Structure formats: structure tokens, C-alpha cells
């Protein structure tokens, strides 16, 4: 694939990711993706021959990888697990607030909407959550309860994001920060 083809594919993925993050699976219709990306219809089908689920799945994986990279950076620069989780919640809260409370978790909406109906999307969501859990588990290394605690912390983060988005307030994120610190004592 040449540079122009690569650029078109990236534009399509960027547009899809934005549509999915701000409005979920339903808002990322092919017509909306074409309009938002400025890509020709033929390019969409060329780059994503399996259709919308392939396109959304790749967008989820891409967004998940970006968030996962941020998690890894925050894990490396944090002195403790509690500090790491606080940094993650602050990062995700900043992202949510800067988007006008539209961009919470890039995976959660699709997981809720489509995981029961589409195996490829369920797998994409599962893969992203598994990768995030691995970062948390690695930061909890040495604890007997690391596996369970990593899942619990991710569930708290996801729930806090949902509540923060619903309330348009950082308060749920702040409260979860305090509860994770207490949980880790």
C-alpha cells in the first residue's frame, strides 16, 4: 500500500474512532465515516472489506492501544500502585472533561452495545480490556491477589468514568481514587 493509501486508511480509522468514542457503534455508520473522513466510499470497502465490524474493531484496538501506552507510561513514572491509579484516573478524567464529557472509555460503549451481538467486536473489546488488566497486574506484582485486584481496579475505573460522564463531574473519579488507595492499604 502506498503512502496515499496509508493516509486514507488512517483518516478512516481516525474518523471512526472519533465517532465511536463520542456516540458509540450506532453513530459510526459507514455514511458518517465517509463524511467525517472525506474518504471515497470505495476506499472504505478496499481497506475494510469485512465491513463495519472490522472497521470499528480496528478503531477500538487502536484507541485501546493508545490508552494502554498511556497506562504503561504512568505505571513507570508512579512510585506506588495507588499513585499509578490516581494518575490513570486523572488522565482519563482530563480526556473526558476536555472532550466536553463526550469521550469516556473508548471501549465501554461498544462493549455494552455490541459484545453480545458481534463476535469480532466482543473479541476486540476483550483484547483491549485484557491488555489494560495486564498493565495493572504488572504494577501489582508480588501481591497474591494481583489478578483479582487488577480486575477490581479496572472495574472501578470503568464505573467511575461512566458515572463521571453521566454526572458531567470529576467527583466519581476522585472518590474512586480514594477508595483504591484504601483498598491497597
DSSP 19-83: HHHHH-GGG--HHHHHHHH---HHHHHHH-TT-HHHHHHHHHHHHHHHHHHHHHHHHHH-SSHHH
Confidence at 185, pLDDT banded by 50, 70, 90 = confident
Residue 1 has pLDDT above 70, yes or no: no
pLDDT 10s digits, 97-115? 999 999 989 899 999 999 8
3-state SS, 100-125, equals CCCCCCCCHHHHHHHCCCCHHHHHHH
Cell numbers for 173: 473519579
- Taking a C-beta distance cutoff of 8 angstroms, is the pair 154, 129 a contact? yes
Q: Once rounded to an integer, what is the mean pLDDT over residues 150-165?
A: 97
- Residue 115 confidence (pLDDT): 84
Confidence at 140, pLDDT banded by 50, 70, 90 = very high
Domain boundary assignment for the chain: 52-184
The CATH T-level fold of domain 52-184 is Tetracycline Repressor; domain 2 (1.10.357)
Selection from 137, 15, 26 nearest residue 72 by Cα:
137
pLDDT 10s digits, 55-95? 999 999 999 999 999 999 999 999 999 999 999 999 999 99
Percent of the chain predicted with pLDDT > 90: 93
Cα diameter, the chain:
56
Q: What is the C-alpha separation between 38 and 84, in angstroms, rounded?
A: 39
Q: What is the C-alpha separation between 128 and 21, in angstroms, rounded?
A: 14
Within 10 angstroms of residue 77's Cβ, the number of other Cβ atoms is 10
- Residue 4 confidence (pLDDT): 82
**Chain-centre distance of CA 7, in angstroms?**
23
Amino acid at each position: 500500500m502506498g503512502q496515499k493509501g496509508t493516509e486514507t486508511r488512517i483518516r478512516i480509522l481516525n474518523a471512526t474512532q472519533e465517532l465511536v468514542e463520542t456516540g458509540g457503534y450506532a453513530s459510526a455508520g459507514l455514511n458518517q465515516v465517509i463524511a467525517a473522513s472525506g474518504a471515497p466510499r470505495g476506499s472504505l470497502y478496499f481497506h475494510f472489506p469485512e465491513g463495519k465490524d472490522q472497521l470499528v474493531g480496528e478503531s477500538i484496538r487502536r484507541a485501546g492501544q493508545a490508552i494502554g501506552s498511556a497506562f504503561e507510561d504512568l505505571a513507570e513514572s508512579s512510585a506506588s500502585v495507588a499513585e499509578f491509579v490516581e494518575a490513570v484516573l486523572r488522565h482519563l478524567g482530563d480526556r473526558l472533561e476536555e472532550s466536553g464529557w463526550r469521550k469516556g472509555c473508548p471501549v465501554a460503549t461498544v462493549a455494552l452495545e455490541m459484545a453480545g451481538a458481534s463476535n469480532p467486536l466482543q473479541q476486540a473489546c476483550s483484547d483491549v480490556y485484557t491488555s489494560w488488566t495486564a498493565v495493572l497486574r504488572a504494577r501489582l506484582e508480588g501481591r497474591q491477589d494481583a489478578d483479582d485486584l487488577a480486575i477490581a481496579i479496572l472495574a472501578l475505573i470503568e464505573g467511575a468514568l461512566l458515572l463521571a460522564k453521566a454526572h458531567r463531574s470529576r467527583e466519581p473519579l476522585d472518590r474512586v481514587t480514594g477508595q483504591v488507595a484504601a483498598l491497597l492499604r
